[in-house]
Amino acid sequence: MCWTHRERWRHHRDFDHNEWITADLDDVEAAASVRELLPGMTRRERVLLGLALTDRGLPAAEVARITHVNPRTVTRWRRARRTTQEIAA
């Protein structure tokens, strides 16, 4: 068993667990409209929520409070999006 699968099994008891790629965009939009984290949101949904709240003009500290992360994390999310947009352009 490779290291990745061993860690997935250790943390989630599921070899195929990958919450980074799954996201329900309807849940993200609903959470952004009420400006709060919904129960059961995956990591990817939290990132997308943070970016949606950024698009609505919220400061990093407020986005961090809503998504339960550090403001520095929000800054990294924003920078990563800018970088990918610059590469695509």
For 31-83, what is each residue's pLDDT tens digit? 999 999 888 888 888 999 999 999 999 999 999 999 999 999 999 999 999 98
Domain range list for the chain: 19-88
| Two structure tokens written together for 23 | 């996201």
DSSP secondary-structure letter at 20?
Answer: T
CA 36 to chain CA mean position, Å: 13
What is the pLDDT, as a whole number, of residue 17? 60
pLDDT bucket at 12, cuts 50 / 70 / 90:
low
Check residue 23 and report its DSSP letter.
-
pLDDT at 22 over 90: no
For the cut 80, the answer to whether the pLDDT of residue 18 exceeds it is no
